Each structure stands twice: as C-alpha cells, then as structure tokens.
Structure 1
C-alpha cells in the first residue's frame, strides 16, 4: 500500500466529504479552507436521498441535524401556472451552515488536518505538488483535490477556459421565518430567472434564486428587483409577503458559470462545483458534490492500493467515472434552463407536462442519479 499525502483545496461540501472518506481509509489528508466555520453559503439546501447510503457508510448521522423530509415538487411558470408531482427518490432540507459545520467536525475527528488560510499558488513538478497560501505556508503533497467552488482566483491562475468569459448569472439567498410546507420544494420561474423554496432545519425557509445579470442591473438593489420582477410570480409574491428575513441582508454571489469544465486540470482532481455546476433548477447540485467526493476518493484509494499503477491511469479513470455519472446530467440541466428562461417555451413545456404528467418525473430522473 502506498502512503499518500493528499491536500484538498476547499472545505465545502465536496471537499469535506472527500476528506472524511479518504481519512476513513487511513490516508493522510490536509484541507485548506479560506473561511472560518460555520458559515452561510448561497445554496438551494435541498439534497436528494441518493446520498443516504453513502452517508451511512461514512458514519454521517444526518438525524443529529434534524433535516426536513421532502417528498414533493411544485413547478410554476412566471404567470403562476403550476404542476405538482412526487419526487421519485425524495430528499431532505438542510442548511449549509449546519451541514458543513457537522462535516468539518467529522473530518477533524477522522484525523484530517484543517488549515484556515487562502491558497495563492499550486505548482506541480517531478510528480509532487507545492501549495502556497497567502500567509506563506507551503505544503507538499502527492495529489491535490480541487474543491474551491464555483469560481476562484485559483481558476484564474490555472487559466481555465470557463474563467475567460464573463458569466451572466448571479444568485441571491436568504433564510426566512414564515409558513411553507415542510415536505415541498418549490421551483418558481420569473422573468430572467427562477427561484427555489424549501424548508431546512428549525422550521427555517430557504429562498434562493438565480437571475440573469442583464435583468438584475436594471434595478437599484435587491429589494427593487424582488418587488418588481421576482414577485411577479404570484406564488413568490405570497411567499415573500408572508415571510420575514432572518439575515441582516440576503447573501449574493455573481459570475456563476454553467459552462463545461474539465474534471482534471494541471493534474488537479476537480470535484463538486469546481468540476461542473448543474443549474439549480435541477435541484441536484449538493448530491452531485457529495457523489463526486466519493468518486475521487475511490480512485485515490485504488491508487494507494496499487490497483492503479500511474498518475496517468488514475486521471484517466477519474475522467471516465466523472463523465459517466455527470456529463449527461449537466447537459440536460443546460437544456432545461434554456427552455425555462424563455417564456413562450416555458409555457409550451408546461402545457405538454400537464397533458403528460409522467414527463416531469422523467425530467427529474434525467437530472438525478440512483442511490450510491
């Protein structure tokens, strides 16, 4: 068995899960995260139940966090026309604040070393990585896992293709108190975007929406945009009018790219949003991040056990399993977004789904995986 040193850049959902998996197998793991824990993040905070058996394997006790149980989906066009369906697998609602903090403590208990610093440079020479932080810390490792999120200064330094063009998307998220069914995830279309609503732990409503920047910039601030655009959907108007923001102000993130990314770049193994970001309307981003952590951990464990002989063989295997599990889902997500964000096409799709309700479940299955 080879003794490996692994550095994971990014202590979010994917990075922490990979750290837990690898350390469970006795592999030395250091996770570098730029932010302290716990921390709120812009996220839909709905997780498909496809992850449950894997979490059991990692001894992650979700029941300790008291997530909501979600079994239904409501989809609405801009004018409020809606359709309901049962989710084939179902899922649960949990905030990133609670889940990431739980995983952080689990990773430490497993023996992972966690450094709260920002990575400034990653170089690869003679089969070894050197990772330098802004505080001057230098780490050496055999492999680096990239889990640094949707968009990072590391992407710029790696000159990744998607980073060369501006993305037209921004996202806004807030936690609210109010009334909303605990077993429902709602997806509501509005001009230039769509909004997901569901409950997380402690009876909190998570409202997170994605908007085209060209529409958003027409307004002075988030409140104006919500009042004059988002609330044009009557369902969203009712939700916002009967809810109270629990944050001092909503969280925002801009320059969100849904362009294709490579799963391996400069020999860094990318996972989660760093490897590919599915449109939030598909409701599967968190499960995909967790699944990608499993995939990268398994190929590294195979390498450690000499089942994969070379770095080239390992990278080829990881590319293969990543594409097999996610490439079609990401493509379907981009196609759905292009349809839903065009009002006429969105209405036409809704009419077809009303006539043939089974199509909605088919679409859900196309963007979700099986239990793993």
Structure 2
C-alpha cells in the first residue's frame, strides 16, 4: 500500500464535498480548501435527478429526511409559449444549495475531513508532488489534488487552462420566490436569448434560474428590465413572475459561464464537477453529474492508494476514460439542444415533432441523464 500525506481538494461545492465524504469514509486523510463560508446561496437550478439517491445512501446521507420537493413532471415551452408536458423518466427532487451544501459540509466534518476557509493562489506539480499555496500564505504538499473550484476561478488562469482564454457570452441569474407553483413539476421555458428553469425546493420556495446570452442582456438597463421586457414575452414565464414575490434581497448572478470543452486531467489535477465540464442547465442534470464525477474520482484514488501496481499515469488515464464514458455524450447532447433552442424557428420545429411523437421527449431526457449511481463491489 502506498504511503500518503493528505489528499487536497480545491473547492467545496457539491463535487468537492462529496469527494471529501467518500475519501474520508475510506479512512484517507483529506484537506478541503474553500474560499466561502457555509451555508451560502449559489446560482444553480437546484434540481437533482434521483440517480444520486443510492450513492447518497451509501455515503450515509438520507437526503429525503430533509424534505426536498419530489419532482416527476416536466413542462417545456418555446419562447412564443407553445407548450408540451411529460413525465420525467427517473424523476428527481428539488433542494437548495444553501441546505444541500450545509448537509454535505457537516457530513464531511463528521467524517474527519479538515476544511479550511482560504483561497488557493497557485498549485504546482514537481517531482511527483503538488505544492499548493493559499492567499494566507499557507503551503500544502500532496501527492493527489482534486480540482473542484467550479465553473470559473482565478486558479484556472494560474493553470493557464485552455477554455479560460476564450470569452463566454453566457450569464446566469437565480433567486428564490414565494408563490403558487406545482410541487411535482420542473418547468423549462425558453425566451429570446436564453432559457429559464422553474421548480420548488424545500420550505415551499420556488427557484427561478435562467441562462441568458449577454448580447441580448446588454440591451436592457438591468435584470428587472430584462425580465419585464424580454423574458416575460413568454406567457408562461410572465404568469410565473407576476404571481411570485422575490425572497432574496436581489437575484444572484454569475457571468462568463463557459460550455467549452475542458481537460478532465489538467496539470495532473483530477478535475471534478463543473471544473471538468459544464452541461447546459436546460438538461437539468449538472448537480447529479458533479456528484457522480466525485464518486468516480474517489473510487480510483482509493484503488490508487491500496494497489501497488497503479501508477499516477494509470490513475489519470482511467479517470479520463471513465469520465468520458459517463458524461461525454451527455455534454454533447446538451450543446446540441442548446444550439436548437437558441434558434426560435428550430425550437418550434422541435416542439411540433414532439407533439406528434410525444415518446421522443423522455428519450431526449434520458440521453442527458444517467442511471442510478451504484457502488462497485
């Protein structure tokens, strides 16, 4: 068995915390570095496919006891309001990142993970060892580093990652509202320049989160103006916004969201969650993918330390292979669907096809979702 100092996880979102729980369950030493305090609201669709439930149970997380909303129906509309409904093949649940991250954080701490609030400034690899330096001038040495620092971070610049050199035209906006919306429904509604997801989370709150093309957005004065004069041209979104009351002081925003392909292993760091690849929110499966990627990486790392025959090179190749097997086709389908939905004429054609052949919509949904995440024996 290989000897190890602590595994370092950079970033404490869904993927980072899940990996921390999994690795500490295997009695490995883990240090997780996260710049934010817990709990904290984040820009996120906050719908998770039921595929994660078996894995959560294995980790010792009974997610249903926290009373998330149970969701099994999808409502889809084009920008002009044409509508179609269907059952979600696997179903899912709605839970806020504020609550879910807090649950995972407490579980990671209980498992013995050391969580440090700090910002990683640099991560270098030399002679089979990483040196991680933080903004507080703390230095960590580690044989294994997991990158879980999200959609876009300063460390991406430090690592000179390819996608960070390209400007992205997407921004996302999210807020919670009170109002009347079905508990068992997730709505996906298009508008000129983007699409909006609507579903309930715990405590009867409605999560409204949309992705917008910056070229469209910049024509308006502010978020409220954009919503009033553009998003609400979709009659379904108009009804939702007019009958909902904002619960946040103001909506949360994040810009420069990139859906470009990313390296799964970069500078010998195993990337997980959004750091490895971001699926378009319209697919409603980013949270489950982040959790699943943490499981894949954790299992391979555990085997790396328990086996005397597994090298770093094999670890990296196996992780990249497994990641691509599970997610490459889903990401490709997400990009394809986003391209169609950005073009109103194509979106209307797609809807007419789905109305004539309604069995196709569940098939499309399945192509962006996985099967229940089971533990290897």
Three-state SS of the structure 2 residue aligned to 1:186 is strand
Match runs of 1:301-312 below 5 Å: 301-306=302-307, 309-312=310-313
Q: Per-residue deviation at 1:63?
A: 2.4
Inter-partner Cα distance in structure 2 for 1:16 and 1:122 = 19
Q: Deviations over 1:127-185 (max 9, x none)?
A: 11111000111111110000000001111111111110100100000000000000000
Inter-partner Cα distance in structure 2 for 1:328 and 1:155 = 24
Could you say which residue in structure 1 is the equivalent of 2:40?
39
Q: Per-residue deviation at 1:10?
A: 0.3
Could you say which residue in structure 1 is the equivalent of 2:2?
2
Is the CA contact (8 Å cut-off) linking 2:78 and 2:189 kept in structure 1? yes
Could you say which residue in structure 2 is the equivalent of 1:161?
162
Inter-partner Cα distance in structure 2 for 1:236 and 1:362 = 25
Could you say which residue in structure 1 is the equivalent of 2:77?
76
Q: Per-residue deviation at 1:341?
A: 0.8
Could you say which residue in structure 1 is the equivalent of 2:214?
213
Three-state SS of the structure 2 residue aligned to 1:124 is strand
TM-score, with structure 1 as normaliser = 0.99
Match runs of 1:39-118 below 5 Å: 39-118=40-119
Inter-partner Cα distance in structure 2 for 1:367 and 1:232 = 28
Three-state SS of the structure 2 residue aligned to 1:159 is coil
Match runs of 1:174-189 below 5 Å: 174-189=175-190
Q: Per-residue deviation at 1:304?
A: 1.0
Inter-partner Cα distance in structure 2 for 1:115 and 1:127 = 24
Q: Which runs of 5+ in 2 are unaligned?
A: none
Q: Per-residue deviation at 1:64?
A: 3.1
Inter-partner Cα distance in structure 2 for 1:364 and 1:158 = 35
Q: Deviations over 1:278-333 (max 9, x none)?
A: 00000000000000000000110110111652100100000000000000100000
Alpha carbons of structure 1 residues 308 and 252: separation in structure 2 relative to 1, 3 Å = farther
Could you say which residue in structure 2 is the equivalent of 1:360?
361
Q: Which runs of 5+ in 1 are unaligned?
A: none
Inter-partner Cα distance in structure 1 for 2:162 and 2:24 = 32
Match runs of 1:130-149 below 5 Å: 130-149=131-150
Aligned CA RMSD, in angstroms, stands at 0.7
Q: Deviations over 1:213-268 (max 9, x none)?
A: 00000011000000000101000000000000000000000000001011100000
Q: Per-residue deviation at 1:2?
A: 2.4
Stretch moving more, 151-160 or 192-201: 151-160
Three-state SS of the structure 1 residue aligned to 2:30 is strand
Is the CA contact (8 Å cut-off) linking 1:168 and 1:212 kept in structure 2? yes
Aligned pair count?
A: 372
Is the CA contact (8 Å cut-off) linking 1:30 and 1:112 kept in structure 2? yes
Could you say which residue in structure 1 is the equivalent of 2:345?
344
Could you say which residue in structure 2 is the equivalent of 1:196?
197
Is the CA contact (8 Å cut-off) linking 1:3 and 1:27 kept in structure 2? no
Three-state SS of the structure 2 residue aligned to 1:244 is strand
Runs of 4+ in structure 1 over 3 Å off: none
Matched, 1:127 2:131: no
Could you say which residue in structure 2 is the equivalent of 1:225?
226
Inter-partner Cα distance in structure 2 for 1:215 and 1:278 = 21
Three-state SS of the structure 1 residue aligned to 2:150 is coil
TM-score, with structure 2 as normaliser = 0.98
Inter-partner Cα distance in structure 2 for 1:322 and 1:58 = 20
Is the CA contact (8 Å cut-off) linking 1:302 and 1:308 kept in structure 2? no
Could you say which residue in structure 2 is the equivalent of 1:260?
261
Three-state SS of the structure 2 residue aligned to 1:72 is strand
